[in-house]
Structure 1
Amino acid sequence: MTEAFLHYVWQFQYFDKTDLRTTDGDPVSVFNAGYRNTHAGPDFFNAKVRIGGIDWAGSAEIHIQSSGWTDHRHDEDDAYENVILHVVWNEDKKIRRSDHSLLPTIELKHRVSEKLLLQYRKLVNDPQQIPCAPFLPGIASLTQLSMLDKALMQRLEAKATRIQATLARNNNDWDETTYQMLCKNFGFKVNAEPFEQLAQSLPYKVLLKHADQPVQVEAMIFGQAGFLDGGGEDDYFLLLKREYALLGKKFNLYTSRLNRAQWKFMRLRPANFPTLRLAQLSALIGNRKNIFSQLVEAASYSDLHALFSVAQSSYWQHHYQFFKPVSEAVPSMGTMSIDNIIINTVVPLLVAHGKEKDEQDLVDRAVEILQQVATEDNAIIRSWKALGIKSTSAGDSQALIELHNSFCLKRRCLDCNIGFSIIQPSHA
């Protein structure tokens, strides 16, 4: 038994209400189960019930065992003073309010259909990562689509919330926040942490002061990243080293610079080496000043692709690392890398900005852009494909990733439209 199942049973009144009484024998009629509260406080608010001939309006609280009331210290919390009904699976303890009156309690353990309970247990205890896999062929496409829409918006809102927290730390500076988000994304998971530290130690406003001098931008970025320590016979390396010596002193950067050992090269293709990514980031900063405003103004995926299609400096068109020239031309950032940045940085930024400004058009545009980006291809998407759920765009793949990680793996089947349709009494 789980509280999630009890929430579901209470919310949709999936229990036998014949001669419903409190555990003390008072008759109970439920006029309104109330509305789920996803924040702190009682589980359902605005419930309306009649207990022993008296009508009550207030909150309902759900527990598996009635002793959960004291275990969770609700007896010490004033927010629970307006609870009018305690809904439990089993009453193992009488609960009293702060005025010592008994809290009316109803027990559900003999009122829920065994078939409904078995269907729920069968689903959430399925050993597969996607527990509803055997049922998917029979689920209406409209139900699937509505859940994907829900999962996508949950994922975008969660990312937007994290961006808003970063924005608050940056004193509402959207340019600085965008720069920090981009830096982290340029690390592409393997080097996300050092890229994020680099952004913290080298503010965007410092780089902007020299944005019209690409050599100086590279000098600060590579110097702050720790790649200009030591010596070498490479003229360009020595040029950047001299520039960083001056700029590092000017902006007091030395004390917070990273160490080269923090960066990972092992098992990466040369195109993903952090040195090349740093060079591409330098080119973006130098060629796309005040990038946040340009992101907001971009009307489509093609606009954003053009925005990020910037060639790195000539040195990095023939190097993946310092001191190691290559004969073939080193490509600029490819479509898959740009798509990754659009999916994980640009779209969440647009959603966060739209929510802050209360401009739904920005949120809608962000979702529309996702639908223009090619689908991601990873183990999660392939697992859904094997079950007949195809992904045709990044909007689909982001929704399926969220559905897998936040609902399937956590067995939140009752919060999922698909799981709900499987468990409900008509299906059970």
Structure 2
Amino acid sequence: MKEDFLHYVWQYKKFSFSNLKTVSGELLTVINCGQYLQLSGPDFFNAQIIIGDQKWAGNVEIHIKSSDWYLHHHEKDEAYDSVILHVVWEHDTPIFRKDNSELPVLELKDYVLKEVVRNYQELTSSKSWIYCENQLGSVDEFVIKNWQERLFFERLERKSLSIEQLLQETANDWEAVLFYMLAKNFGLNTNGEIFLKVAKSIPFAVLRKERFEVENLEALFFGRADLLPMEPEDLYAKALKARFDYLLQKHQLETIFIEPVQFFKHRPDNFPTIRLAQLAMLYHKESNLFSKLIDTKDVEQFYKMFSISISDYWQTHYQFDKESPKKKKQFSNSFIDLLLINTIAPIKYAYAKSLGKEISEDLLELFYTIPAEKNAIIDKFSQFGCKSKSAFDTQSLLTLKNEYCNKSKCLQCAIGIQLLKV
């Protein structure tokens, strides 16, 4: 038995209301179970009950055992002085208020509907991947789709928190925040944090001034990422090194240490050298990138905007001083999809939120047109009957797995609640 199950029972009134009595034998009538806020302090706020002939209004605290009150040190917390009823599964000790009056207790185990307990035990009894894996296919599709939409926006809201932090760091410079986020996502999972540090080490005002020459951007990016050879052989590598030293002096940039980028396990087209060169070309080609991305809604327009090549040197190189067969190395649609999912959509959401604008339908339409992501989590959900047709499905399912299934939050999940219904 877990406390969140008792929260569910109380919130959704899954217990018999007739002949309720406190452990001291007084008749109990529940008028209003209160509001479940999931904040610090008592579990349910503004409940209304009648004990005997006395009507009470206040808060309700829920525990597995009565003694948990003392285990959690509620007797020392003034926030619990307003508790009017202690709801427990098992009463094992009396609880006293500061004025030495005994706190009324309702022992729930004799009142909870047996079918609810059985369904809860079935839902949480075994788990090889997620608790509901054997029942997921039986859940009404309407319930799942509505829940997925909620999960989709939860994910965007969570991502917007990091954007808000970056806005504070940049004095609300949305262009700079976009640059930081793009840099992080160009680095993928392996080099994302390193690329973010590289981007943050270059004031965006410097990037604005130097974007007219792609070689200057490459010099800054490769220099800050410590990718320029100490003793370069190629003329281009030598030129970039000289440019970097000059730009450091010109803009009075401090010398910093950033941990080495990783090449290991990357396909050549995902090498950090190639991704940084592509980022440099993007900012060389596109001015006012933020406003263009905000105004763009159609996925094909995004593909067109990112249909840029790479500088001549990198068409014949993957690393400095090592020539390779010529290849344009343009962005793939799948890479642009990742940028849409992880950078552009969260930026659009956060920006609209800052203006008080509603763009939920636009974002949903966009994600319906982005192909479904492919990974082990999505494959598993497909095996259990929850198939993905678009990035909307995959993003919501990733949130479901990471934020609910992995944390055993079945009773805060619409699917879990549906499976518990009797």
Aligned mate of 1:321, from 316, 319, 323: 319
Cα distance change, pair 125–167 in 1 and its aligned pair in 2 (3 A): farther
Give the deviation of 1:97 after TM superposition.
2.5
Alignment of 1:177 onto 2:177: yes
1:195-210 → structure 2 map (5 Å cutoff):
195-210=195-210
Work out the CA distance in 2 between the residues paired with 1:75 and 1:290: 58
Query: Who is 2:377 aligned against?
Result: 380
Give the deviation of 1:398 after TM superposition.
0.4
Instruction: Please tell me whether the aligned partners of residues 56 and 84 of structure 2 are also in contact (alpha carbons under 8 angstroms).
Output: yes
Alignment of 1:336 onto 2:322: no
Q: Deviations over 1:311-368 (max 9, x none)?
A: 221111221111112123142111111100100111111111222222112x332232
Q: Deviations over 1:104-138 (max 9, x none)?
A: 22111222234422321221232221221222332
Give the deviation of 1:206 after TM superposition.
1.7
Q: Counterpart amino acid of 1:180?
A: Y
Q: Larger deviation: 314-323 or 15-24? A: 15-24
Work out the CA distance in 1 between the residues paired with 2:37 and 2:161: 19
Gaps of 5+ in 2: none
Cα distance change, pair 104–147 in 1 and its aligned pair in 2 (3 A): same
Query: Who is 1:40 aligned against?
Result: 40
1:250-265 → structure 2 map (5 Å cutoff):
250-259=250-259, 262-265=260-263
Query: Who is 2:288 aligned against?
Result: 290
Q: Larger deviation: 88-97 or 271-280? A: 88-97
1:258-407 → structure 2 map (5 Å cutoff):
258-259=258-259, 262-361=260-359, 363-407=360-404
Query: Who is 2:247 aligned against?
Result: 247
Q: Larger deviation: 227-236 or 99-108? A: 99-108
Instruction: Please tell me whether the aligned partners of residues 228 and 320 of structure 2 are also in contact (alpha carbons under 8 angstroms).
Output: no
Instruction: Please tell me whether the aligned partners of residues 84 and 103 of structure 2 are also in contact (alpha carbons under 8 angstroms).
Output: yes
Give the deviation of 1:175 after TM superposition.
1.7
Q: Deviations over 1:249-276 (max 9, x none)?
A: 22333422435xx111112100000000
Q: Deviations over 1:279-306 (max 9, x none)?
A: 0111112122332222211122222222
Q: Counterpart amino acid of 2:404?
A: F
Work out the CA distance in 1 between the residues paired with 2:77 and 2:292: 49
Give the deviation of 1:218 after TM superposition.
1.0
Work out the CA distance in 2 between the residues paired with 1:145 and 1:256: 48
Instruction: Please tell me whether the aligned partners of residues 198 and 257 of structure 1 are also in contact (alpha carbons under 8 angstroms).
Output: no
Cα distance change, pair 41–216 in 1 and its aligned pair in 2 (3 A): same
Query: Who is 1:421 aligned against?
Result: 418
Q: Alignment RMSD, CA only? A: 1.7
Work out the CA distance in 2 between the residues paired with 1:281 and 1:257: 21
Q: Counterpart amino acid of 1:380?
A: I
Provide the aligned length of Structure 1 versus Structure 2.
Answer: 422
Give the deviation of 1:221 after TM superposition.
0.8
Alignment of 1:154 onto 2:126: no
Give the deviation of 1:197 after TM superposition.
1.4
Cα distance change, pair 38–289 in 1 and its aligned pair in 2 (3 A): farther
Query: What secondary structure, in the 3-state scheme, does the structure 1 residue paired with 2:110 have?
Result: coil
Q: Deviations over 1:354-398 (max 9, x none)?
A: 22222112x332232111111101111111111222111101110
Q: Deviations over 1:67-99 (max 9, x none)?
A: 222332333333323222211112223222233
Query: What secondary structure, in the 3-state scheme, does the structure 1 residue paired with 2:210 have?
Result: coil
Q: Deviations over 1:158-212 (max 9, x none)?
A: 1112322232233222222211111111111011121121122122222111111
Instruction: Please tell me whether the aligned partners of residues 86 and 104 of structure 1 are also in contact (alpha carbons under 8 angstroms).
Output: yes
Work out the CA distance in 1 between the residues paired with 2:289 and 2:298: 16
Query: Who is 1:63 aligned against?
Result: 63
Alignment of 1:24 onto 2:27: no
Query: What secondary structure, in the 3-state scheme, does the structure 2 residue paired with 1:256 have?
Result: coil
Query: Who is 2:94 aligned against?
Result: 94
Give the deviation of 1:229 after TM superposition.
4.0
Query: Who is 1:164 aligned against?
Result: 164
Instruction: Please tell me whether the aligned partners of residues 84 and 104 of structure 1 are also in contact (alpha carbons under 8 angstroms).
Output: yes
Work out the CA distance in 2 between the residues paired with 1:238 and 1:375: 43
Instruction: Please tell me whether the aligned partners of residues 180 and 196 of structure 2 are also in contact (alpha carbons under 8 angstroms).
Output: yes
Q: Counterpart amino acid of 1:138?
A: S
- Structure 1 residue ranges, 4+ long, deviating more than 6 angstroms after superposition: none
Work out the CA distance in 2 between the residues paired with 1:251 and 1:110: 74
Instruction: Please tell me whether the aligned partners of residues 375 and 394 of structure 1 are also in contact (alpha carbons under 8 angstroms).
Output: yes
Instruction: Please tell me whether the aligned partners of residues 224 and 253 of structure 1 are also in contact (alpha carbons under 8 angstroms).
Output: no
Instruction: Please tell me whether the aligned partners of residues 319 and 330 of structure 1 are also in contact (alpha carbons under 8 angstroms).
Output: no
Instruction: Please tell me whether the aligned partners of residues 6 and 89 of structure 1 are also in contact (alpha carbons under 8 angstroms).
Output: yes
Cα distance change, pair 357–79 in 1 and its aligned pair in 2 (3 A): farther
Gaps of 5+ in 1: none
Work out the CA distance in 2 between the residues paired with 1:252 and 1:74: 56
Q: Counterpart amino acid of 1:276?
A: I
Instruction: Please tell me whether the aligned partners of residues 170 and 177 of structure 2 are also in contact (alpha carbons under 8 angstroms).
Output: yes
Work out the CA distance in 1 between the residues paired with 2:284 and 2:361: 30
Give the deviation of 1:43 after TM superposition.
1.3
Q: Counterpart amino acid of 2:178?
A: T
Q: Counterpart amino acid of 1:410?
A: K
